[in-house]
Structures are given as C-alpha cells and as structure tokens.
Amino acid sequence: MPLQLYDKEKILDACFHVFARYGYANTSTTMLAEAAGISKALVFHHFKSKKELYLSVLDRCIEKGRIEMGFDTLLEHQDFFETKEKFSIIKFHYYKKNPGLMKIMREAFYTTPIELKIEIQEKYGMLLADNEKEWELLFEKVPLREGVVREQAFRLVMLTLDYFDNKFLLELDHNDDLEETYLREFLEDRNSFLSMIRFGIEK
C-alpha cells in the first residue's frame, strides 16, 4: 500500500536535517533513508531521486520562510530603505532561529551544486524575478532627482544590497555566535553605502 501523506512529511522533515548538515553533494540516498528510518525503496516511492527530494525540501523552506518572515506584506510599507532594513533584521533573527533552513537556502541560491543549477533556475527563476519585482514596485515610491533614470538607480541599489546579502549569509554560515552587535555593525556598514548612493559622493 502507498505510504500515508503524513509519512511523506516525516521523510521531508528527516531529510531536511541531513541536507542541512551535510549539503546536497555529500548526502547519499542511504543517509537519507537511515535518517527517515525506512528503506530506500520507500523513500523513493514518493520521490524519484535525491534531486527531487532536495527540491521538495527546498520548496518547504521557501514557503515556510516567506510566511514566517512576512514577505507578502511588503507592499504595505511605504519607505523602500526602511523596509529593507526591517526585513534584514527579520531575516537575521529568523536565520539565527532556523540555522538548518538558512544553510539549505544559502546552498541552493548562493553556492548552487552543479547538478542542481538547471533545475533551480527553471523552478525558482520566476519566483526570484517576482521577488525583485515586488521590491521594484516599492522603489517606485522613492523620490529621485531630475535626470536620474529610475531603473538604473534601482539596479545600483540592488547590486549593493545583493553584495551585503552575500556577505551576511557567508558570515552567518561560518559563525554560530553572531549576536546583536554583528547585526548593528552590518546594518551600519550597509547603510553607509546606501547613503552614498542616495546622497552622492562628490563634494
């Protein structure tokens, strides 16, 4: 008989912890089956391959994070820069509370395994584009000087923010003792760059 749905959820829960600890490349199907407490045949009754299982785990991480971090309320805010800072603080505390989820998200989107590059691009490329579109809509509320091309300004700001997001995830991944001091210094550093963009650097 087919496994019940709750058994499938248990498999995903168990495999989540294995992928988070060892990463995709270093995780074997045997490790996944042992973690789930069942045979490999039963694991792959639900999931055709390790790849499909990983992507299913990633789906849950994305959905969980989106809901719990409140990204769907983004457009309710008025100020782009204040909202970016607010969501950085939320993300910091969320990833500190959920380090396994952070490790999977970081691997999937920042150090993507070669074997998964095509699938992740095809599966999540539109999602990432929609995410950026939400920020772009919020950026529409930022008043710009005459002559400034809004699309270029947005791209410059996002490139800066992407740099700091990468830095944030790298440091968070390699330091289990990051505290509020780190968050404050991180935001001060990032905001100083954003201020240079917003207010100019030439005397």
pLDDT in tens, 56-66: 999 999 999 88
Q: Determine the average pLDDT of the residues in 86-103.
A: 88
Q: How confident is the model at residue 176 (pLDDT cuts 50, 70, 90)?
A: low
CATH 2.30.40.10 fits domain 1-65: no
Residue 180's pLDDT is 80
Residue 141, C-beta contacts closer than 8 angstroms, at least 6 positions apart? 78, 79, 80
Q: Determine the average pLDDT of the residues in 3-21.
A: 82
Q: Determine the average pLDDT of the residues in 20-25.
A: 95
Q: Determine the average pLDDT of the residues in 180-185.
A: 85
> What whole-number distance in Å separates Cα of residue 185 and Cα of residue 179?
10
Residue 174's pLDDT is 59
Neighbours of 52 (CB within 10 A): 13
Mean pLDDT value across the chain: 87
